[in-house]
A and B are shown apart, each in its own frame.
Chain A
C-alpha cells in the first residue's frame, strides 16, 4: 500500500505483444464510447443536478413568488433577499462555532491517534494489541447509542450547553476509524527505514517525528478530512448537549431555521446553500487533496 493516497495509474509491466503503435499505449478500449454507461451517467447527473438546481433557483425567489413557481424554471426576478434574511439570523456565528468544533476535533484526534497507531504498529506488547482491538470494535458503535449516558456525564461534568460538550464526544467517536486508517498507512513503512534510523541512535520519539509522521502524510490527511467531516456533519450531540444561541453549531442552526422560517422555503433553502458554500470553496481549492483523502477512508 502506498502512502500516496491518490490512485496511481497501474504500472505497465510485461505487456502482452499488443499490435499497437504509440497511439495505443493506453487502454484503448475504454476510449471507445460506451453508450449505455453514457446514458447512465447522464441520468445520474440529472439526479444530482436537479435538486441542487431547484434549491438554488428557489433560494433566489421571493417567498410569495415561490408558492406558485415551478422551481425548474429560472426565477423571473431573482432576489438575494433570502440570503440577506439568513445572514442576519446569526449565520456567521454558527459557522464560526462549527469551524471551532471541527478544528478542535481534528487536533484532538491527531494528537491522540498518531501515537496510538504508532505504538499499535511498532510495539508487540499485549496491551497495544488490546488497545487496537478496542478501536477495531469501536468502528461499528453508533454514536446515537450512547447519547443518554453521555448526556448524564456531560451534565455532571458541567459541560452542558458548551462547545466542549460537542467536541469531546465527537472526537472520541472519530477515533476508531482514524486509528484504523493510520495503522494501515504506518504498516507500509519498511523495517529498513527504522533500522537505518536506529543506526543513527534515534529514539522512538525521533522516529515518530522524523520518519513515521512524514511517511504517513497521506493517512494523516485522510484522518484530518474524516474527522473534520464528522464534526461538520454532527447533529445529535449538538441537539442534545446544547441549548442556547452561544454554542449553537451550523447543523443545529439549520434545523432550527425550520421553526424560524417555517414555510419560507426560499429562506430555508438559502440557508442550506450558504451552509454548503464554505466547504464547496474548500473543494474548489483543494479538490485533489480532499478526494484523495477520502479515498483513504476506504482503504485503497
Chain B
C-alpha cells in the first residue's frame, strides 16, 4: 500500500498555493515517496506480465548496483487500456517517469522529436552486457533514425492462431495450412454450434491483426511497407481491398459469432470466451499463452495449441512471414536525475535471472541467453515454435498501429473498426484510408 505522501497531495512545488488555502495539513502523514534523491520511477503497462518487472525491481533494489548508484526503482503500473494516453500526459508534465515501457518505432517518435529520450547508442556499444545481451535484430527494431533508444524488456510477440486442441480433436479437425482448409474448419465448427474465432472487437487492435495478416498473405509484405513509408495511395493496392472483402466474408459467415464487437481483450473477455470453449480459435499475439496461463492455467497447459496464419491461395505472401511486435522496450527520459541507476537497472534485462523469469512466465525472451534456456519454459514446445517462427521469418511486419505515423493511427483504427461493425463496406474502407493525410 502506498503511504500518504505530501508529494502527491500537493504536487511538487505548489506548497505556497496550498498553504494559502490552508490545506497543507491534509496531505502529510509520514512516508517520503517522491522522486527526489536517487529514486528512478519506471512506468509500465499493467498487464499480467508486470510481475516480471516487479521481481526485477525487487532484485535490483537489493543489489550492489543499487547501492553503488545510490538509487532505487519505483514501479508505476498503468492500467493496460489506458497506457499510451497516460504515458503522453505524464511525459508532458513535470512528473514524467524516468524509465518507461514502449513499443519502439512510432510509439516513441514524438518523444524523440521533443528531445525527451536519452540516446542509448553509445551506452549499448560500450557495454558488452547490453551489446551482446540481446538479439541484434530486436535491438535494432528499438532504434529510430539509426540511434538506439530502447532496451528489450519483454518476450517476442509474433501473432499466430491459437486453437483449442480438445475441440479440434472432438470434431476431428487438423490445424490448417491454407485459407480454404481454414474456411472448411469454420463451416464444421459452426455446424457444431461453436464460434470459430474469439475476437475482442470492443478494442480495435485485435481486429487489426486480421487485416495485417490477410494483406501480407494476399499481397506480400511490400504492400504495407509502402503504406508505412507515408504513401496513402498504397491503401489502394488491390490486396487491401481483397483483404477487407475477406474480412467482411468472415463476419457475414459468422466466423466471429455475434457479440464480438462488445467483447474486450484487455479486460479478459476474448481470452475467457476462448478458454471456456465458446470459440475454437483466436488470432492473437504470443502473449496469449502467458495471459491464459495467468487466468486459466489448466486450459493453457492442456488444451492450447497454435499454428501459423494459413497461406492464401494465389496470394503473394509466404506462410513464414510474421506480423507482430518484436518485443517491448524500456526507454530512458532525458530528464532522469539518476541516470546511472536507470542504466544499471536496464542491464538487468539481459541477465540470466530476468531471462528465466520471462521464460517461466511463458514468454520467449529476446536475450541471447534465451536459446539455451528455452527448455526450462513451462512449454518448451511453444517457446521453440515462437523462437523459430521469428528466426526463420522472411519478413517481420511491425504492427500497423505502431508502424504508421502517429497521426494516422487513430483514423486508421477507426476505419478498421467501422469495417468490422459493418459501418463501412470494403470499398468505403479503402477509399477512406486512401484519403488519409
A and B in contact, CB less than 8 Å:
yes
Chain A: residues with CB nearer than 8 A to chain B? 67, 90, 93, 96, 100, 103-104, 108, 151, 154-155, 157-165, 167, 239-240, 242-247, 255-256, 258-260, 262-264
A115 to B43, CA, bound (A): 44
Per the CB 8 Å criterion, the residue count for chain B at the interface is 43
Which B residues are CB-close (under 8 A) to A100? 9, 26
Q: Is the CB of B79 within 8 A of A259?
A: yes
Task: Answer yes or no: B268 CB below 8 A from chain A CBs.
Answer: yes
Chain A interface mostly helix, strand, loop or mixed? helix
Known: A93-B2, A108-B21, A240-B89. A246 touches B8 (CB 8 A): yes
Which A residues are CB-close (under 8 A) to B47? 259
Which B residues are CB-close (under 8 A) to A155? 89, 92-94
Q: Is the CB of B81 within 8 A of A258?
A: yes
Chain B, residues 1-22, CB within 8 Å of chain A (1/0): the string is: 1101101111111100110010
Q: Is the CB of A159 within 8 A of B11?
A: yes
Shortest C-beta distance, B201 to chain A (Å), equals: 15
Task: Answer yes or no: B267 CB below 8 A from chain A CBs.
Answer: yes
Contact of B81 among A104, A154, A247, A259 (CB under 8 A): A259
Known: A243-B76, A245-B2. A262 touches B11 (CB 8 A): no
Known: A151-B89, A243-B86, A262-B269. A158 touches B2 (CB 8 A): no
Q: Is the CB of A162 within 8 A of B21?
A: no
Which B residues are CB-close (under 8 A) to A104? 23, 26
Which A residues are CB-close (under 8 A) to B46? 259-260
Q: Is the CB of A259 within 8 A of B267?
A: yes
Contact of B7 among A242, A246, A259 (CB under 8 A): A246
Shortest C-beta distance, B108 to chain A (Å), equals: 18
Residue of B11, B12, B43 with highest tally of chain A CB at under 10 A: B11
Task: Answer yes or no: B59 CB below 8 A from chain A CBs.
Answer: no
Shortest C-beta distance, A264 to chain B (Å), equals: 8
Q: Is the CB of A67 within 8 A of B94?
A: no
A-B contact pairs, 25 of them (CB 8 A): A90-B1, A96-B4, A104-B26, A155-B89, A158-B12, A158-B94, A159-B11, A160-B90, A161-B8, A164-B9, A164-B18, A165-B11, A243-B90, A243-B95, A244-B2, A244-B76, A245-B2, A246-B2, A247-B9, A256-B79, A259-B46, A259-B82, A259-B266, A262-B268, A262-B295
Q: Is the CB of A161 within 8 A of B2?
A: no
A243 to B42, CA, bound (A): 12
A160 to B332, CA, bound (A): 20
A242 to B86, CA, bound (A): 9
A163 to B18, CA, bound (A): 11
Shortest C-beta distance, B335 to chain A (Å), equals: 14
| A108 and chain B: residue at smallest CB distance | B21
| A256 and chain B: residue at smallest CB distance | B79
Shortest C-beta distance, A241 to chain B (Å), equals: 8
Which A residues are CB-close (under 8 A) to B12? 158
Q: Is the CB of A263 within 8 A of B5?
A: no
A69 to B276, CA, bound (A): 14
Shortest C-beta distance, B412 to chain A (Å), equals: 23
Contact of A164 among B23, B76, B90 (CB under 8 A): B23
A154 to B86, CA, bound (A): 15
Q: Is the CB of A157 within 8 A of B76?
A: no
Q: Is the CB of A263 within 8 A of B95?
A: no
Contact of B10 among A164, A243, A260 (CB under 8 A): A164
A255 to B78, CA, bound (A): 12
Task: Answer yes or no: B272 CB below 8 A from chain A CBs.
Answer: yes
Residue of A103, A243, A260 with highest tally of chain B CB at under 10 A: A243
Task: Answer yes or no: B33 CB below 8 A from chain A CBs.
Answer: yes
Which B residues are CB-close (under 8 A) to A239? 82
Task: Answer yes or no: B27 CB below 8 A from chain A CBs.
Answer: yes
Which B residues are CB-close (under 8 A) to A247? 8-9
Chain B, residues 63-95, CB within 8 Å of chain A (1/0): the string is: 000000000000011111110001001101111
Which B residues are CB-close (under 8 A) to A258? 79, 81, 267
Q: Is the CB of A157 within 8 A of B17?
A: yes
Which A residues are CB-close (under 8 A) to B17? 157, 164
A67 to B295, CA, bound (A): 14
Count of A-B contacts judged by CB separation below 8 Å? 111
Known: A246-B2, A258-B81, A262-B295. A162 touches B93 (CB 8 A): no
Which B residues are CB-close (under 8 A) to A161? 8, 11, 90, 93, 95
List 8 A-B pairs, minimum CB-CB distance, nearest first.
A262-B268, A246-B8, A162-B11, A159-B11, A160-B93, A259-B79, A155-B93, A158-B13
Which A residues are CB-close (under 8 A) to B43? 243
Q: Is the CB of B1 within 8 A of A244?
A: no
| A155 and chain B: residue at smallest CB distance | B93
Which A residues are CB-close (under 8 A) to B23? 104, 164, 167
| A160 and chain B: residue at smallest CB distance | B93
Contact of B1 among A67, A93, A256 (CB under 8 A): A93
Which B residues are CB-close (under 8 A) to A264? 268
A83 to B425, CA, bound (A): 46
Contact of B78 among A96, A160, A243 (CB under 8 A): A243
Known: A163-B9, A164-B11. A263 touches B268 (CB 8 A): yes
Shortest C-beta distance, A166 to chain B (Å), equals: 10
Chain B, residues 31-74, CB within 8 Å of chain A (1/0): the string is: 00100000000010011000000000000000000000000000
Q: Is the CB of B267 within 8 A of A244?
A: no
Which B residues are CB-close (under 8 A) to A154? 11, 93
Shortest C-beta distance, A110 to chain B (Å), equals: 13
Which A residues are CB-close (under 8 A) to B5? 246
A108 to B18, CA, bound (A): 11
Q: Is the CB of B79 within 8 A of A163?
A: no
A95 to B254, CA, bound (A): 45
Shortest C-beta distance, B225 to chain A (Å), equals: 34
A64 to B17, CA, bound (A): 51
A232 to B23, CA, bound (A): 19
A151 to B86, CA, bound (A): 12
Contact of B14 among A108, A164, A259, A260 (CB under 8 A): A164
Which A residues are CB-close (under 8 A) to B18? 164
Chain B, residues 242-269, CB within 8 Å of chain A (1/0): the string is: 0000000000000000000000001111
Q: Is the CB of B81 within 8 A of A162?
A: no
Q: Is the CB of A162 within 8 A of B78?
A: no
A263 to B296, CA, bound (A): 12
Shortest C-beta distance, A44 to chain B (Å), equals: 27
Which B residues are CB-close (under 8 A) to A158? 11-14, 94
| B23 and chain A: residue at smallest CB distance | A104
